[in-house]
């Protein structure tokens, strides 16, 4: 049984972002391959040991303060030392600058791997001060894993470490998503209709929701938005100013509701316009459910999932007219939408399942530990 310690700044149930989703899916999927995963994160709830999340355990260190979107914790250092001593290898999840500091303060000598989820895009001033530590940290770990070749090619940081960079796409397990019965689906049909575009995600600056609202103006198309975040009120005000009567802001929803709406939607729209969006788990969910996809070309994993004119439509970032045209094209062509959706699902099945992700990571784990790469041994 391999023992792997995952480290990131937040985790379930405090936060349900894309990176947290990846850690969860990886921890659950590798369990059947005889990997025992433990997760350490920071939490506003305080110090908590051994909380069950799925079939694995999570530990939480109390957050003392936060700076530049980075939580810090004094107790996390001691807890990290304790958990690292029990692990065979450490699996870091980047970016999280305090994590780099803990690595050196704790003097970790175990084999280590970094899942490189995103470049640091917004905090440009902080990045100048952080870069020496980041480079030292990335130089010391055994492997750096990106989720798409697109991101490797477009990341100036990853380009500096190419000999140790591997690509393992994110993967999801559809069986882990709740299945709604017809009564529950009817419940949502009555609320939002039976033909609508769907967006799922946090309301952050790089998600392009303001562009989506402008693009859908005057089309009359229904749009369902799942999520919440710091710019929520601005977006709702924008929708009101535009007179968008068919926009449904549903807030953050439980998985059973999200799964039902993914099942019902006509297509998934993902207008992220900045490279802070490194992959796009929502696009992957849409593909998993066989839906046509609309996204922007931002040099990241979004166009590794969504292939233009194959699984959906890719438009230039911030291009309102192109985004509107893409929605009109799909809305008025059911056959094309069906074809894109079928292709998206095939691409999911061939590249993006949790089984594929887990097997690829376990082979890398075993290589780091000098074990047979055979995942069954």
> What is the residue-wise DSSP string for 87-106?
-SEEEEEES-HHHHHHHHHT
Helix (H, G, I), strand (E, B) or coil at 217: coil
91 with 102, same domain: the answer is yes
* Predicted local confidence at residue 375, as pLDDT: 55
Handedness of CA 106, 111, 116, 119 (dihedral sign): positive
Residue 274 lies in a domain: yes
Residue 199: its H or E element = strand 197-200
16 with 56, same domain: the answer is yes
Residue 126: its H or E element = helix 124-140
How many CA within 13 A on the CB side of residue 277?
28
Helix (H, G, I), strand (E, B) or coil at 45: coil
- Residues 130-179 have pLDDT tens digits of 899 999 999 999 999 999 999 999 999 999 999 999 999 999 999 989 99
135 with 269, same domain: the answer is no
CB 69 within 8 A of CB 205: no
Mean pLDDT, the chain, rounded, equals 94
Residue 77 lies in a domain: yes
Residue 377 lies in a domain: no
152 with 27, same domain: the answer is yes
In DSSP notation, 150-173 reads HHHHH-HHHHTTGGGEEE----B-
Picking from 61, 59, 55, 60, the residue whose alpha carbon sits closest to that of residue 27 is 55
The confidence band for 376, taking pLDDT boundaries of 50, 70 and 90, is: low
Q: Can you state the percent helix, strand and coil of the chain, rounding each to 5? A: 45, 20, 35
What CA–CA distance (Å, rounded) separates 308 from 88?
42
List residues bridging with 15 in a β-sheet.
Answer: none
249 with 153, same domain: the answer is no
What CA–CA distance (Å, rounded) separates 295 from 20?
22
27 with 169, same domain: the answer is yes
Backbone angles phi, psi at 232, to 5 degrees: -60, -45
Please give the average per-residue pLDDT across 288-312, as a whole number: 96
What CA–CA distance (Å, rounded) separates 221 from 245?
10
User: How many domains, the chain?
Assistant: 2
162 with 223, same domain: the answer is no
Q: CATH number of the domain that 330 lies in?
A: 3.40.50.2000
CB 213 within 8 A of CB 225: no
Q: Would the pLDDT of 363 be above 60? A: yes
198 with 257, same domain: the answer is yes
* Predicted local confidence at residue 121, as pLDDT: 75
Please give the average per-residue pLDDT across 116-133, as a whole number: 85
Residue 374 lies in a domain: no
CA Rg value for the chain: 21
Q: Omega into 62 within 30° of 0, i.e. cis?
A: no
More confident position, 125 or 276:
276
Residue 376 lies in a domain: no
224 with 265, same domain: the answer is yes
Q: Would the pLDDT of 2 be above 90? A: yes
93 with 128, same domain: the answer is yes
The residue range of the domain holding 166 is: 2-173+353-368
What CA–CA distance (Å, rounded) separates 372 from 366?
6
């Amino acid at each position: 049984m391999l023992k792997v310690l995952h480290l990131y700044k937040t985790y379930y149930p405090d936060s349900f972002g894309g990176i947290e989703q990846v850690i969860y899916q990886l921890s659950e999927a590798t369990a059947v391959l005889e990997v025992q995963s433990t997760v350490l994160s920071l939490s506003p709830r305080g110090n908590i040991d051994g909380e069950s999340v799925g079939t694995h355990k999570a530990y939480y260190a109390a957050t003392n303060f936060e700076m530049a979107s980075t939580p810090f914790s004094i107790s996390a250092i001691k807890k990290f030392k304790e958990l690292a001593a029990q692990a065979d290898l450490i699996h870091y999840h980047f970016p999280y600058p305090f994590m780099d500091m803990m690595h050196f303060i704790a003097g970790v000598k175990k084999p280590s791997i970094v899942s490189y989820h995103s470049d640091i895009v917004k905090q440009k001033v902080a990045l100048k001060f952080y870069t020496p530590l980041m480079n030292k940290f990335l130089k010391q770990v055994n492997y750096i894993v990106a989720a798409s070749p697109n991101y490797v090619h477009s990341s100036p940081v990853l380009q500096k470490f190419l000999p140790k960079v591997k690509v393992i796409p994110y993967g999801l397990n559809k069986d882990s998503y709740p299945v709604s019965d017809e009564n529950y689906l009817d419940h949502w049909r009555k609320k939002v209709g039976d033909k609508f575009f769907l967006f799922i995600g946090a309301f952050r600056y790089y998600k392009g929701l303001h562009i989506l609202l402008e693009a859908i103006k005057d089309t009359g198309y229904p749009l369902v938005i799942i999520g919440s975040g710091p710019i929520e009120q601005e977006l709702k005000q924008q929708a009101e100013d535009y007179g968008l009567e068919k926009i449904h802001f549903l807030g953050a929803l439980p998985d059973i509701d999200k799964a039902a709406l993914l099942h019902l939607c006509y297509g998934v729209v993902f207008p992220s316009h900045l490279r802070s969006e490194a992959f796009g788990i929502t696009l992957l969910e849409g593909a998993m459910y066989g839906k046509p996809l609309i996204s922007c070309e931002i040099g990241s994993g979004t166009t590794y999932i969504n292939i233009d004119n194959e699984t959906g439509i890719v438009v230039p970032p911030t291009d309102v007219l192109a985004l509107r045209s893409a929605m009109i094209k799909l809305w008025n062509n059911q056959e094309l939408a069906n074809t894109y959706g079928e292709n998206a699902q095939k691409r999911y099945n061939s590249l993006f399942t949790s089984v594929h992700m887990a097997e690829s990571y376990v082979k890398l784990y075993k290589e780091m530990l000098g074990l047979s790469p055979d995942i069954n041994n």
